[in-house]
Structure 1
Amino acid sequence: MVPQSGGAVVGVKRIMISLPESLLKEVDGLASLEKRNRSEFIREAMKLYIAERKRRGMREQMKKGYQEMASINLSLAMENYEVENEAQKYYEKQLAEC
């Protein structure tokens, strides 16, 4: 974002929002502590919020994927259990004959 001569930032849209007075006081207090103006503070807060939402969404997708894979792995294990049991019995029988 590049400031223009009038202090406006290129590529930025001016909007109007409504906030409870108590929230606005908190925002102004924190912005002051960080030596930022209100707009800078709110822009950064919005970016952080959006990034956190994306991270949460990604974690949920990963969790769902892991759960689906666990279900698939359990199904495969159950399908192969009987075959592995038979192979084990055959192996033990062969050992007993030696």
Structure 2
Amino acid sequence: MISLPNSLLQEVDGIVSKQKVNRSYLIREAMCMYISEMKKRQIREKLQAGYIEMSKINLLLANEAVQAENEAVETIESMVSGA
């Protein structure tokens, strides 16, 4: 058995009356929608955490690439200048 405040129960009764369904159907649908939204939220949170982690890795790789590029420029400049 589920307990609902009277105000919510009145809203539910209004909806089931308009849609010509029963309370059980409406509650089942609402629960399915809630579970679906929770799963979507969990996926979004996991994706966000993954993107944050990848951004840290990408920043490290970019810094390494800049250092390597700077070393290459210095090497070329010294070769060109004959040093």
Paired letter, 1:52: E
2:10 is the alignment partner of 1:25: yes
CA distance in 2, matches of 1:40, 1:21: 19
Shift of residue 92, structure 1, vs aligned partner:
4.9
Aligned to 1:72: 57
Aligned residue runs from structure 1 range 1-98, under 5 A: 16-92=1-77
Structure 1 residues not aligned, in runs of 5+: 1-15
**C-alpha root-mean-square deviation of aligned residues, in Å?**
1.8
CA distance in 1, matches of 2:16, 2:77: 74
Could you state the TM-score of these two structures normalised by the residue count of structure 1? 0.74
3-state SS, counterpart of residue 55 of structure 1:
helix
Shift of residue 34, structure 1, vs aligned partner:
1.5
Paired letter, 1:63: Q
3-state SS, counterpart of residue 17 of structure 1:
coil
The 1:34/1:95 distance shift into structure 2, 3 A limit, reads: farther
Please give the per-residue CA displacement for 1:25-64, whole angstroms capped at 9, x wherever unaligned: 1111112222110000010000000000000010000000
Per residue, is there more helix in 1 or in 2?
2
Structure 2 residues not aligned, in runs of 5+: none
Paired letter, 1:70: S
Aligned length: 82
